[in-house]
Structure 1
């Protein structure tokens, strides 16, 4: 019983430490690697939590399968049924919240497409009426490819280079399929509250990824920083919702001062450089450690349950 309790505490408590490590590591990595690392860590930590709950839930059922009277199981492990009931309730809540969040994501995307239905434009750009200066990436939906949405106020008030920055930024979101990474971590955060911090960290690094891509396309980091800061200030002053209030990946979202500061610093090591290779190695090692720890805890819990059932049956 003590061993099982230790495993349960580790399985449900480990994500708090794992999430903190993942966020700290992300701050040391280039934006793209940081995003993939955060997403992988969130999936593994959420999966470990769910597996531990399933392990607790199946204790009484495994005893019945082994033809061990439940009364005998309770003599050896009195908390088996309360633990199983608690795990079943937690899993039911998780499933309900996951389905609710998934349908909410789809609903928001559908509403976003309906909101820009009256827009005009050509290619991958849709210009919608609006007095607020804004632009965001609209992922593909029901056979329609992703588009960059920009308000008419942004087209009128921004200079050509600033519009180019916004276009490059939002195209980077679409090309990198950042909405999928965001959706996955958003769902993982429903499984364990510790992963909410990972979700917030991912949102920042997704914007940083798009910022760096926009700077590379435009060829001027200062112009990129200035454009992002100007759009953020305009949105803050007007404080108006965009596209029906649907939260989407936008150049003006996230902690803009930190993003601008990062753009004003020299670019990190180029792809293939020593810094990026070292970051990739650290990232892979961390994800492997999280995966192995999760699997070890899950396997240990499963082995403990089987051992307990065999011991009870033999007794």
Structure 2
């Protein structure tokens, strides 16, 4: 049991190092690959954490399946009940946080669709009357396809060419289904506190992905940089109805100066091989270690309980 607890501790500590390695590797990769890295790391690390906690929580139930009474199991393994209770409490808190974040996600989405009112879409573009400069990618909802929502206030703040950059940016969010990646990282952060740092990093790279797609669509990186800066500045001057925008990714998300600076540089190329390989190796070791430890622990505890139960019943 001591070995099992050590494995659990390691499985719960590894995500701190893995999250740092994931952010470092993402900073060396082009935006699309960076988003895949961060989302995959968040999902795998959350899964490894849950597997480790579920394994501990199930120890008393495994003993019962082997017909070992709980008092006898507690005598043989004094930490069984306290550890299982702690694991169960952690799982309950995680479940509540995940459910709460999912409800918030759906609530923001419902309110955003409701705010569009009776506006008639022009293809994938939905122009909403209003002086407040806003623009965001609105994911599909209850059979309705995704839309680019932009207010008349935002349209007035941009020139015709800059509007095309804005539309290309938001279309990239919809085409890449970026809201699913963002929500995955948001829910993973409810499972382990170390994973909360992955969502801001992911949203920055999602915006960089959309920025690059918009620049490619208009064929002018300087125009794209100017449009992004102007749209973000206009959005920042308006009202911000929701501190947490949930599934709504807008042009003003993330550190805009870094995004503009990146657009003023050439198209991102292949990163330095040595630095990328080192960061990738560190991330792979931490993520795979956490996931494998959780799965091995779940299987190992089952085998351990079964063997020990047989020994106790023979006495």
TM-score (norm 1): 0.90
Q: Is 1:40 paired with 2:40?
A: yes
Q: In structure 1, what is the equivalent of residue 156 of structure 2? A: 156
Alpha-carbon offset, residue 292 of structure 1: 5.2
For structure 2, the 5+ residue unaligned runs are none
Q: Distance in 2 between matches of 1:86 and 1:252?
A: 41
Whole-angstrom distance in 2 between the partners of 1:53 and 1:240? 42
CA contact under 8 A between 2:136 and 2:150: conserved in structure 1? yes
Deviates more, 1:11-20 or 1:25-34: 11-20
Matched positions, count? 310
Correspondence 1:54-93 to 2 at 5 A: 54-93=54-93
> Which deviates the most, 172-181 or 282-291?
282-291
Alignment of 1:268-283 (within 5 A): 268-269=268-269
Give the structure, 1 or 2, with the largest relative contact order (CA under 8 Å, sep 6 or more).
2
Q: CA deviation at 1:132?
A: 2.5
8 Å Cα contact 1:22/1:41 also seen in 2:
yes
Assess if the C-alpha contact under 8 Å between 1:68 and 1:312 holds in 2.
Answer: yes
Q: CA deviation at 1:284?
A: 9.3
- Give 5+ residue unaligned stretches, structure 1: none
Give the distance between the partners of 2:244 and 2:159, measured in 1 at CA.
26
The answer as to whether partners of 1:37 and 1:287 remain within 8 angstroms in 2 is no
- Aligned-residue RMSD, C-alpha: 2.5
Counterparts in 2 of 1:117-266, with a 5 A limit?
117-236=117-236, 238-241=237-240, 246-247=245-246, 248-266=248-266
2:303 corresponds to which of 299, 306, 310: 306
Residue matched to 2:9 = 9
Q: Distance in 1 between matches of 2:126 and 2:290?
A: 47
Shift of the 186–235 alpha-carbon distance from structure 1 to 2, 3 Å rule, reads: same
Q: Which moved more, 1:30-39 or 1:292-301?
A: 292-301
* Structure 2: distance between partners of 1:219 and 1:203: 24
SS at match of 1:27: helix
TM-score by length of 2: 0.90
Preserved CA contact (<8 Å) 1:127 1:149: yes
How much has 1:153 moved relative to structure 2?
1.4
